Chain A
């Protein structure tokens, strides 16, 4: 069975961070396995990175996040965000957040089309 979590962001920065925090917590449920912790952490880092780098310049930008947890022990995080081209895996300021993402992600793809960034990352859970 595939679990899906969805999030739509169109908020000011402070509220967005609170929503990201709540969404990240939901990704960790149910269960208390460490791998769910990693999924919550990965989601928070990707989304908070987006809030920091894109929303200040494009406060009306929309972002959507979808998390799929598969029965085969993998999960996929889809992130779509309006705004200028921004690949969180290579752009932005290097820091602990992106270092955590890189350490957890098993695969990723990014493309920019029609003014929208589309990021897909895979992770073992």
Chain B
């Protein structure tokens, strides 16, 4: 049973109209559910929260964009930073449920790529075709 928790203090949720829920799953996937607006105003705080998640060195990060209504370049930078950091240490960063407005922005920037999935079924099919589980820990 996955355990979900919010890393967003309750007192800023309503004001910023933004939320980030983190869900860690048994297969090593860390699911980040972004919601609301990810723009120049909210991006700095969200970046701090995402940095906190990445500092735990998750094997796989899935950014669920199902509830993300709007994204601007400030938000795109966070998505790309997350992907870059994960790739640099051989880990994964995947995008799930991009809404039309988000897809539109990524399309304008020519950043649409294969690691973006419209449904969990598509994501599962992809994971079945690649390494689903984290690599075994090596002994020093």
Contacts and interface: CB of A to CB of B under 8 A. Distances in A.
Interface of A: 17-18, 20-21, 24-25, 34, 37-38, 40-41, 44-45, 48, 51, 95-97, 99-100, 103-104
B39 interface: yes
A-B CB proximity, top 10 nearest: A96-B73, A48-B40, A97-B73, A21-B41, A103-B108, A17-B41, A18-B41, A17-B40, A37-B101, A21-B39
21 contacts: A20-B40, A20-B41, A21-B39, A21-B41, A24-B72, A34-B100, A37-B101, A37-B104, A38-B104, A41-B70, A44-B39, A45-B72, A48-B39, A48-B74, A51-B40, A95-B73, A96-B73, A97-B74, A99-B108, A100-B73, A103-B109
Contact of A96 (B37, B70, B109): B109
Contact of B72 (A18, A48, A51): A48
A104 B108 contact: yes
A67 B4 CA distance: 42
Contacts of A21: 37, 39-42
